[in-house]
Structure 1
Amino acid sequence: MIELVIDKRIRDLGGGFEVGRVLPFARRRMVGPFVFFDQMGPLDLAPGFSKEWDVRPHPHIGLATVTYLYSGALTHRDSLGVHQEIRPGEVNWMVAGSGITHSERLEYARANGALMHGIQAWVALPLEAEETAPAFYHHEGADLPEWQDKGLSGRLIAGRADGLVARVPTHSPLFYQHLDMEPGARHAVTGEYPERAVYIASGRAEVAGQVLAAGQMAVLAAGGGVDVTALARSTVMVLGGDPVGERFLFWNFVSSSRERLEQAKEDWRQQRMKLPVGDDLEFIALPTQ
C-alpha cells in the first residue's frame, strides 16, 4: 500500500546546474535513514561548458553520501586526500561523521561531452556514529551483488535485501537497490524494513496498483508485500531501512542536535574546516537560510 507520492521539485545547485529534489519533503522528511534524495539529469552536456556547473568544495557533518551514476562521470576530491573518478554502476560512499569537505567536478564531461544522469542520496548516521571519523569508500563489481529475473536486471547498492549483502560499510539497517526493468517485468519489494520507498528515475511503473511516472517516489506503508511492475522500459530505485530518529538539516549539515548545526555553521564561517586536497582555491560562503 502507498502512503504518499512525492513529485521531484527542480532545484538549482548554482551556475544553472539543476537537480530534481525528492527528499526531504514537507510531509515526509525521511525514509528509514535516507534524509536526502536528488536526481541529476538526464542532461546532455557538450564539451567546453562552464565550470560554474561544478559542485564546488563544500562541507558535511552527520551523514554518509552515496553518489550513484547511470551515465556520465564525476571527479570527487575530499579533505582526506581522496581523488576518485565516479563512474556508472559504482558506489561511492562518503562518511562525513564529525566533518568532511568535498567537491564533485564535471571534468570528464567538460572535456568529452557526456549524458549526465544519476542519484545522490544522503543517509543520516545513527546517534552513536554521528561524530565518527570521516571516511570514503569506493565499491564496484562483486562488491555490489547483481541478479537477473524475467526482464529485470538488479544491483544492490548498499545494505541487505532479498538474501543479498553489499560490501559497502553502513551504520544502520538499510537497503538500496537499482533496477532496470523491461515492460512487464515485476519486482517484489522486500518487507523486512519498516520504512520503504520506490522511485521512478525513468520510464513508468505500477507500484502497489498505482501508476507512477518518472520523477515520482512512492513511500510505502509499513508491512505487507508490494509489487513494482514496469509499464515501459524503466529505471527504478528501491530504498529504505530502520528509522534513526529526528534529524535537523541546514544546507549540507545533518544532525540530531540543533546546537551541533550551529557549531558546524560557525566552523565553516571561520574557515576552520580543511578544504579538499588539490581543490582548495574556492570557498562558498555559508547560505543565509
Structure 2
Amino acid sequence: MSDLQRHPDEHTSGRDATHPGSSVIPPREVPLGGPRAMTVRRTLPARGRTMIGAYCFVDHYGPDDVAATGGMVVPPHPHTALQTVSWLFSGEVEHRDSTGVVARVVPGELNLMTAGRGVCHSEVSVTTPGAERILHGVQLWTALPLDAVDVAPTFEHHEPEPVVLDGARVRVFLGELGLPGGRRTSSPVRTFTPLLGAEVRMEPGAELTLDLDPGFEHGLLLDRGTLSVNGGCMLPVSHLLHEAPGPTSMTLAAGEDGADLILLGGPPFGEEVVMWWNFIGRTHEDVVAAREQWQSELGHDPDGRFGSFDYPGGESLPAPTLPPVRLRPRA
C-alpha cells in the first residue's frame, strides 16, 4: 500500500518519546485516493511513537464495500528499505510488482514484499463477479536494518496453519509466539530483524494468556469486538496498544461479542531512519535520491532502480513534492 497523502509528513525513528508500561495510540483517518476514497485508520507512525520494533507503518481498513467505494486502487508506486506485510480478514486484492510477481492477497494468507534497494508494485481490489465485496484487513511496513537496505527485492507467500485453543484461534504469520500449555507456533518467512506478527480470534467470553519475549516491545491492534488487556485496559476498536519491553506474558479477555486482533512485536529498533512518503532512508539525501530516481522512471524502466511491470489500470503514482526544508530528526 502507498501513502497517498499529498503532503506526507517526515518521520524519524529512534528518538521516540517512549513511555513506561502501556500506552494507547488512537487512529487517524486517511483517505486512500480518489473521489470515493476508501478510508484507512492509521496508528503508526504517530506523534510520539513512530515504531514498534521494526514496524513503522500500521493501516487498518474496512469492512468496506468495494462495490460502493471502489475499494483499494493503488497504481504502481515505489518502496525502498522496507518490507510490506499484507494481511486480510475478508475480500481479495491483486498484487503486481517489478519482481515479476502477480499474486492474490486473500484472507488468512501472508503476502510479504521486501523492497530492499528498490521495487514498485500495485494493489487493486478484486471486483470480478463472485468475488467477496467486503474488503477488510491491515497493511504493515517494517523497516530494514542498515545491513539489509540494499538487498534485492523479493516476494514471499505463506499460509499459516491456525492453532486452535480453548476459545481462540491463532495464526502466526511472522516470527514465533508462546501459547498456553507451553506450546509454540512460528512462521518460516524470512525477516531481517526479530519480529512477531499474529492474528488472534477470540470467542465470546474467552480468556487467553500469551507468552511474550521480554526483550520485545509489543503492539496490539483491536480489529473487532471488545477486549480487556491484563485485567485493566479496555482497548477501543482500531486503537493500537503499545507495551514496552519487560513483561513475559499478556492476558486477553474478550467481551460478549468476542474479539479479533493483531499482535505485533520486536526488539526496539536501534537505528535512526527517515521515512517520507513510500521511502525509508538514513539521511535526507537518501530520500531525495530515491524520489528523483522514481520521478525519472515512474515504473517504465525495466533496468532502473525500481523496475517495471504490466499494469492494466493506467499510469504510475508520481511522488509528492518534497517539503522546502531538510528532512531531519524532530524534537
Give the TM-score taking structure 1 as reference length: 0.92
Task: Give the counterpart of 1:238 among 263, 266, 274.
Answer: 263
Q: In structure 2, give the amino acid aligned to 1:185.
A: A
| Residues 110, 282 of structure 1: alpha-carbon distance in 2 compared, 3 angstrom cutoff | farther
Residue in 2 that maps onto 1:153: 169
Q: 1:189 to 1:223 in 2, by over 3 A?
A: farther
Q: Is the 8 A contact 2:44 2:51 kept in 1?
A: yes
Trace 1:273-284 onto structure 2 (pairs within 5 A). 273-274=305-306, 276-279=308-311, 281-284=314-317
| Structure 1: tracts of 5 or more residues without a match | none
2:229 to 192, 207, 211: 207
Q: Helix, strand or coil: the match of 2:127?
A: helix
What SS does the aligned partner of 1:283 have? coil
Deviation at 1:182, TM superposition (A): 1.1
Give the structure 2 partner of residue 218 of structure 1. Answer: 241
Does the CA-based 8 Å contact 1:145-1:166 persist in structure 2? no
Q: For 2:288 and 2:203, how far apart are their aligned partners in 1?
A: 48
Q: Is residue 265 of structure 1 aligned with residue 291 of structure 2? A: yes
Residue 320 of structure 2 corresponds to 287
1:130 & 1:103 partners in 2: Cα distance?
A: 21
Q: Residues 237-276 of structure 1, C-alpha deviation per residue, up to 9 Å, x if partnerless? A: 1111112322211101112333211111111121255454
Contact 1:247/1:256, CA 8 A, preserved across alignment: yes
Q: How does 1:26-45 map to 2 (within 5 A)?
A: 26-45=47-66
Identity %: 34
Taking a change above 3 Å as real, the CA distance of residues 119 and 61 of structure 1, as seen in their structure-2 partners, is same
When structure 1 is superposed on structure 2, of 63-72 and 194-203 the one drifting more is 194-203
Alpha carbons 2:96, 2:122 under 8 Å: kept: yes
Q: CA deviation at 1:112?
A: 4.1
Equivalent of residue 30 in structure 2, options 1, 8, 11: 11
Task: Give distance in 2, aligned partners of 1:110 and 1:37.
Answer: 30
C-alpha distance in 1 between matches for 2:70 and 2:27: 25
In structure 1, C-alpha distance between the alignment counterparts of 2:23 and 2:194, rounded to whole Å: 22
TM-score (norm 2): 0.81
Contact 1:78–1:100, Cα closer than 8 Å, also in 2:
yes
Distance 1:198 1:5, change over 3 A: same
One-letter code of the match for 2:211?
T
* 1:1-289 pair list within 5 angstroms: 2-15=21-34, 16-46=37-67, 50=70, 53-108=72-127, 112=131, 114-140=133-159, 144-162=160-178, 163-192=184-213, 193-208=215-230, 209-224=232-247, 225-231=249-255, 232-244=257-269, 245-271=271-297, 272-274=304-306, 276-279=308-311, 281-289=314-322
Q: Distance in 1 between matches of 2:162 and 2:318?
A: 42
- How many Å separate the matches in 1 of 2:294 and 2:268? 29
User: Which structure shows the bigger proportion of residues in strand conformation?
Assistant: 1
Alpha-carbon separation, structure 2, partners of 1:284 and 1:147: 40
1:114 & 1:167 partners in 2: Cα distance? 31
Cα shift readout 1:148-184 (whole Å, capped 9, x = no counterpart): 2221000001112213220111111111110001122
Provide the aligned C-alpha RMSD in A.
Answer: 2.0
Measured in 2, the distance between the counterparts of 1:29 and 1:258 equals 17
Aligned residue type for 2:202: M
What is the count of residue pairs matched by the alignment?
Answer: 284
Instruction: Please tell me the residue identity of whatever aligns with 2:140.
Output: A
Instruction: Decide which moves more: 224-233 or 274-283.
Output: 274-283
SS at 2:292's partner residue? helix
Q: Distance in 2 between matches of 1:252 and 1:202?
A: 28
